[in-house]
């Protein structure tokens, strides 16, 4: 290859310009001057090779009658296609990234929503839930569990015994791991008041049966345990309440049959005792039937206008004997008021309240029944005694079923602990409410409301 000189470059450009009659102002080798000016043999050799190749291409194109503008147009078209394709790829990539970010954001929102829904579900449970990981460290607890064990601070990540401090729970977890089944166990919590929990433990596994953790569910049995104890006591009390009057009736009847009936004075006294015990049995059976109706939801009311003062006067006549035996004076402060109620059920309510006031009130004291209109459409009825009164705890629980303030005194006086519970349910079934106002040593005042007629 001949050496590229400035003279050769000038002759080449002139020939090229003459061969391009249509575009004489365009030189094919317009950049060759810069190449010829390069320093260094390797660079000049590379430039000469490029120039040689370009000459061959130009000659071939010229022979095929392809002009330089078409070549330039093709190059421009290719460049335009290249940049269009790059722009489209960039736009597609941006759209994909945007969709991916939106999808990731939606997935994160769905996960967060599912987690919040799960937390809300567990926190709405009355049972305590404790979830352990495969190393028996706390992974999750719900609100009920924290309340049961009075937990404070963050429990997540703590060891089991550090979180609950009860070795029995650790033993339950180990049994669940060893036996691979649900373990149920009753657990008594130390402290006062006494509390009982039903604990159910189960192992969490994957499809390959590999242990992932353990879940424990705690159900508070304290109320049920108390109810069981109260029911047992109730059965014992009812048995006693049934046996005592029946024994009296049977004994006095046998005495009368044995000849005491021939003595009018003795016979009269024995018959009065039999009548009193029969009435005691009637009231007991009536309470049992009423509580059965309440539990089954079969309480039916025959609502009508009832003259409250007349009903109270009639009940005073029935209670005259019982009140007289304790020198208790009955007084009515009930004006002429009409209430909308079932007369039989209202009599049952007042009978329970009057019986308690006479039975547990002060010997030789007073029992006063009052009534007044409140809020225009309701009547408030009250039964007040001057007995020993009730503590704040007793006032809060006195309407509970089977609850008795003084068990020893109640056993002596008789009673099942159902009376005030029946009063509460009957008053509520009329659309009213019942409450007690009392202090120790200052008597008690039981109040309830009924719709005015």
Q: What is the pLDDT of residues 435-448, one digit of tens each?
A: 999 988 889 999 99
Is the domain spanning 304-451 CATH 3.30.565.10? The answer is yes
Instruction: Find, among 248, 237, 239, the residue nearest to 275 by Cα.
Output: 248
35 has pLDDT over 50: no
In three-state secondary structure terms, 133 is strand
In what helix (H) or strand (E) does residue 13 lie, and over which residues does it extend?
helix 6-19
Q: What is the pLDDT of residues 126-144, one digit of tens each?
A: 889 999 998 889 998 888 8
Report CA torsion sign: 204, 210, 211, 212.
Answer: negative
pLDDT exceeds 60 at position 426: yes
Taking all residues of the chain, what is their mean pLDDT, rounded to a whole number?
81
Asked whether residue 301 carries a pLDDT value surpassing 80, the answer given is yes
Q: How many CB atoms lie within 10 A of CB 80?
A: 10
**pLDDT tens profile 77-128:** 888 888 888 888 888 888 898 888 888 888 888 888 877 787 788 788 888 9
Say yes or no to pLDDT of 33 above 60: no
Show the DSSP H helices in 180-263 as ranges. 222-257
CA angle 332, 335, 341 (to 5 degrees): 95
- Retrieve residue 80's tokens: 């335009």
Rounded CA-CA distance 445/367 in Å is: 10
| DSSP-assigned beta bridge partners for residue 330 | 367
* Mode of pairing for the β-strands spanning 195-205 and 338-341: unpaired
Kindly state the average pLDDT of the residues 266-292. 83
Query: What's the whole-number mean pLDDT along residues 28-51?
Result: 54
**Is residue 410 predicted with pLDDT exceeding 70?**
no
pLDDT, average across residues 29-53: 55
Average pLDDT (5-26) is 46
Task: Say which residue, 257 or 333, is predicted with more confidence.
Answer: 333
- pTM for the whole structure: 0.53
Q: What would the mean pLDDT of 297-312 be, rounded to a whole number?
A: 88
Provide the pLDDT for residue 13: 46
- Torsion angle, alpha carbons of 172, 205, 161, 198, to 10: -40
Q: What residues are paired with 333 via a beta bridge?
A: 370
Handedness of CA 304, 308, 309, 315 (dihedral sign): positive
Q: Does domain 226-296 have CATH number 3.40.190.10?
A: no
Nearest to 276 by CA among 313, 312, 324: 324
Asked if 366 and 331 touch (Cβ cutoff 8 Å), the reply is yes
- For 49-137, list the strands marked E by DSSP: 128-133
Domain boundaries in the chain? 6-66, 125-220, 226-296, 304-451
Task: Give percent above pLDDT 70 in the chain.
Answer: 82
pLDDT attached to residue 446: 95
11 C-beta neighbours (distance < 10 Å), count: 10
| pLDDT tens readout for residues 195-239 | 889 999 999 988 888 889 999 999 999 888 887 877 777 777 777
Report yes or no: 349 and 430 within 8 Å, Cβ to Cβ.
no
Is pLDDT of 257 > 90?
no
pLDDT average, residue stretch 54-64: 57
Residue 349's pLDDT band (cuts 50, 70, 90): very high
Collapse the DSSP code of 400 into the 3-class scheme (helix H, G, I; strand E, B; otherwise coil) and give the result: coil
Query: CATH class for domain 125-220?
Result: alpha beta
pLDDT of 423 > 50? The answer is yes
272-279 long-range CB contacts below 8 Å, 24 or more apart?
273/248, 274/248, 274/249, 277/244, 277/245, 277/246, 277/248, 277/249, 278/245, 278/249
């Amino acid at each position: 290859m001949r050496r590229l000189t400035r003279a050769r470059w000038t002759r080449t450009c002139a020939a090229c310009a003459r061969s391009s009659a249509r575009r004489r102002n365009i030189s094919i080798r317009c950049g060759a001057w810069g190449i010829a000016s390069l320093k260094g043999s390797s660079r000049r050799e590379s430039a000469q090779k490029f120039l040689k190749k370009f000459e061959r291409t130009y000659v071939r194109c010229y022979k095929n009658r392809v002009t330089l503008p078409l070549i330039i147009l093709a190059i421009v078209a290719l460049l335009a296609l290249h940049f269009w394709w790059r722009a489209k790829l960039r736009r597609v990539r941006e759209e994909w990234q945007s969709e991916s970010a939106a999808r990731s954001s939606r997935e994160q929102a769905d996960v967060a929503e599912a987690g919040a829904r799960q937390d809300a579900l567990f926190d709405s449970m009355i049972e305590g839930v404790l979830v352990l990981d495969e190393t028996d460290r706390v992974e999750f607890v719900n609100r009920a569990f924290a309340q049961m064990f009075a937990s404070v601070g963050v429990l997540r990540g703590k060891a089991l015994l550090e979180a609950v401090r009860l070795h029995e729970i650790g033993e339950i977890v180990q049994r669940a791991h060893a036996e691979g089944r649900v373990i149920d166990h009753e657990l008594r919590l130390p402290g006062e008041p006494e509390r009982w929990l039903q604990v159910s433990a189960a192992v969490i596994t994957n499809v390959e049966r590999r242990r992932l953790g353990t879940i424990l569910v705690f159900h508070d049995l304290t109320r049920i345990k108390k109810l069981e104890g109260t029911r047992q006591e109730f059965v014992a009390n009812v048995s006693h309440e049934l046996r005592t009057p029946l024994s009296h009736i049977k004994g006095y009847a046998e005495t009368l049959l044995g000849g005491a009936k021939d003595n009018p004075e003795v016979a009269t006294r024995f018959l009065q005792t039999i009548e009193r015990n029969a009435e005691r049995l009637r009231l007991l059976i009536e309470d049992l039937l009423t509580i059965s109706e309440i539990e089954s939801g079969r309480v039916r009311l025959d609502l009508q206008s009832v003259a409250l003062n007349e009903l109270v006067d009639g009940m005073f006549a029935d209670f005259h004997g019982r009140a007289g035996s304790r020198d208790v004076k009955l007084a009515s402060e009930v004006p002429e008021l009409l209430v909308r109620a079932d007369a039989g059920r209202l009599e049952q309510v007042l009978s329970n309240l009057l019986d308690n006031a006479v039975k547990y009130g002060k010997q030789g004291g007073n029992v006063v029944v009052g009534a007044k209109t409140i809020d225009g459409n309701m009547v408030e009825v009250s039964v007040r005694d001057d007995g020993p009164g009730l503590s704040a705890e007793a006032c809060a629980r006195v309407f509970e079923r089977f609850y008795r303030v003084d068990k020893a005194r109640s056993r002596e006086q008789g009673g099942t602990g159902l009376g005030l519970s029946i009063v509460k349910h009957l008053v509520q079934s009329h659309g009213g409410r019942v409450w007690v106002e009392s202090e120790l040593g200052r008597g008690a005042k039981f109040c309830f409301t009924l719709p005015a007629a």
